[in-house]
């Protein structure tokens, strides 16, 4: 799995993050012990652990050491290859990186752990508990980005004529529109409101839901889910941000609401999104992640409704088959995916907050599609982790600080259903986060 192509891909991804742009290089030497590249007549030799060590790494059995981050912010895990304590050494011909900075990033970027795993949850998703991130406690560390910053410091010192173009930190709000209306009839409305009461005993929000229901009887645009979509758009505008909205076009099922993508009120939302310079993408239904024909059909529906070419996607339920879904998305004309994150744990599933090309492990090459990894999601914090408002705010700030340090893009997901349904969480967690980290 850890081929020359795979290591070259990992170096390319790390250098792109380190420099802020893609730079050409060639491989001058490759063996089980190291890989050496030549970049603008300058050589960098990366030491790597042997094949047996790589297997131990995958199994979570390899002992890691630690070094200081590029800015002394924290200690970060590394694989030591020899007794050297310094990150690198320089001779007359080249730089030799003394730690293995490629094996862990390759596993994270390629999702090799997920690719090899047969153990899934009830929704057929890869489990965080089985991940390399869990085994080595990496989920709150953007390890690929941290290694890239270490390489940047080496290049700045030893090869100062190679230009560095640091990227600016950004926040990208994203919104999965699982349903456009909460109340589609009196029976469903009462069931939903009573269920909310039983689950939360928040009388204030339940009373608010009842008022929304009464208002929606005369005007569906006053439904809380519909208003939630419009509020997400408005709040991004106020904070100078460009949201990405993912709409569904699946048929009704136990996991898909099956709303009408051609709904008359929704047409106005599409126009507002377009006028604001924001993006409409597709939220492929529950059964699309292994079925390219169903995926293509749904992409066509969203394209028809929005009157736009659809090139951005996030899978419903974050349901993904690492052996098939990227292939299917490429065949469906998707250029950028936003799915890579754990539903049950916030953080850096891919080890990075930067856009990158995922790796096609079957064909030993990068995909053409790009991935913008998901870092935090509303339901992860409120439902899976059951954070209080203060805990959720602290988690977001900690993660955000780590993204800022490396000039990454903080991809956050907030559903339209949790704008007016969990108003305190929306106002005190999401909106406060936007206000504090933009502008």
100-113 confidence digits (pLDDT tens):
999 999 999 999 99
In the prediction, which pLDDT does 182 show?
81
Which 3-state string (H, E, C) describes 14-66?
HHHHHHCCCCCCEEEEECCCEEEEEECCEEEEEECCCHHHHHHHHHCCCCCEE
Q: In the numeric block, which tokens belong to residue 132?
A: 């390399």
User: Tokens 């999965």 sit at which residue?
Assistant: 176
In the prediction, which pLDDT does 220 show?
80
| Cα distance between residue 283 and residue 176, in whole Å | 7
Percentage of the residues of the chain whose pLDDT score is greater than 90:
87
What pTM was estimated for this model as a whole?
A: 0.94
Query: HSE on the CB side for 389, CA within 13 Å?
Result: 12
- 114's CB contacts (< 8 A; 6+ apart) are 126, 131, 322
Give the count of beta carbons closer than 10 Å to the beta carbon of residue 401: 12
- Whole-angstrom CA distances from 14 to 110, 145, 166 are 13, 7, 13
- 162 burial type by CB count under 10 A (0-12 exposed, 13-18 middle, 19+ buried): middle
Question: What is the rounded end-to-end Cα distance, in angstroms, of the chain?
Answer: 43
Percentage of the residues of the chain whose pLDDT score is greater than 70:
92
Alpha helices in 367-422, H assignment, sequence order: 378-379, 389-405
178-202 confidence digits (pLDDT tens):
999 986 766 565 666 665 555 666 7
Alpha helices in 47-160, H assignment, sequence order: 51-59, 103-110, 112-116, 132-135, 143-158
Where in 151-228 does DSSP place strands (E)? 170-177
| Cα distance between residue 256 and residue 53, in whole Å | 44
Mean pLDDT (the chain) is 94
- 85's CB contacts (< 8 A; 6+ apart) are none
In the prediction, which pLDDT does 240 show?
96
Where in 243-298 does DSSP place strands (E)? 244-247, 279-282
Domains recognised in the chain with CATH numbers: 4-158 (no CATH), 170-182+223-339+374-437 (3.20.20.370)
**DSSP for residue 427:** I
Phi-psi region of 41 (alpha: psi -120 to 50; beta: other; left: phi over 0): left
Concatenating the DSSP letter of every residue in 328-354 gives: HHHHTT--EE---S-SS--S-TTS-SS
**DSSP for residue 167:** P
In the prediction, which pLDDT does 422 show?
82
| Cα distance between residue 37 and residue 35, in whole Å | 7
Across the 439 residues of the chain, what is the mean pLDDT of every consecutive 10-residue run?
A: 95 98 97 96 96 96 96 95 91 93 98 96 97 98 98 96 96 98 69 62 66 68 94 97 98 96 97 97 98 98 97 98 97 98 98 98 98 98 96 98 97 96 93 91
In the prediction, which pLDDT does 375 show?
98
- Asked if residue 382 lies in contact with residue 422, where contact means CB atoms within 8 angstroms, the answer is yes
């Amino acid at each position: 799995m850890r081929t020359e192509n795979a290591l070259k891909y990992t170096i390319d991804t790390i250098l792109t993050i380190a420099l802020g742009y893609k730079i050409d290089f060639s491989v001058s030497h490759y063996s089980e012990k190291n890989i050496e590249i030549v970049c603008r007549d300058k050589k960098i030799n990366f030491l790597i652990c042997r094949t047996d060590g790589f297997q131990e790494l995958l199994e979570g059995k390899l002992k890691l050491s630690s070094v200081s981050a590029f800015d002394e912010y924290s200690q970060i895990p590394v694989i030591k290859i020899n007794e050297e304590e310094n990150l690198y050494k320089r001779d007359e011909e080249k730089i030799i990186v003394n730690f293995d900075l490629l094996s862990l990033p390759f596993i994270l970027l390629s999702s090799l752990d997920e690719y090899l795993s047969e153990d899934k949850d009830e929704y057929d998703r890869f489990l965080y508990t089985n991940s390399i991130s869990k085994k080595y406690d990496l989920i709150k560390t953007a390890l690929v980005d941290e290694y890239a910053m270490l390489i940047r410091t080496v290049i700045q010192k030893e090869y100062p004529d190679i230009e560095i173009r640091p990227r600016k930190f950004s926040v990208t709000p994203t919104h999965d529109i699982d349903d456009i209306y909460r109340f589609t009839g009196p029976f469903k409305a009462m069931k939903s409101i009573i269920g909310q009461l039983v689950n939360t005993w928040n009388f204030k929000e339940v009373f608010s839901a009842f008022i929304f229901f009464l208002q929606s009887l005369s005007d569906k645009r006053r439904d809380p889910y519909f208003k939630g979509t419009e509020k997400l758009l408005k709040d991004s505008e106020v904070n100078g941000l460009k949201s990405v909205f993912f709409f569904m076009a699946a048929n009704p099922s136990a996991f898909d609401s099956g709303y009408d993508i051609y709904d008359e009120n929704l047409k106005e939302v599409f126009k507002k999104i377009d006028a604001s310079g924001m993006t409409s993408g597709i939220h492929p239904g529950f059964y699309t992640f292994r079925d390219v024909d169903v995926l293509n059909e749904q992409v066509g529906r969203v394209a028809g409704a929005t009157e736009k070419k659809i090139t951005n996607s996030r899978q419903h339920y974050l349901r993904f088959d690492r052996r098939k879904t990227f292939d299917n998305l490429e065949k469906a004309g998707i250029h950028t995916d936003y799915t890579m994150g754990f539903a049950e744990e916030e953080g850096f599933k891919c080890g990075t907050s930067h856009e990158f090309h995922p790796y096609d492990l079957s064909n030993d090459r990068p995909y053409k599609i790009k991935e913008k990894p998901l870092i935090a999601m509303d339901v992860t914090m409120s439902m899976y982790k059951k954070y209080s408002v203060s805990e959720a705010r602290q988690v977001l700030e900690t993660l955000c600080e780590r993204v800022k340090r490396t000039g990454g893009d903080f991809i956050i997901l907030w559903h339209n259903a949790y704008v007016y349904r969990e108003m305190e969480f929306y106002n005190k967690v999401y909106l406060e986060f936007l206000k504090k980290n933009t502008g």
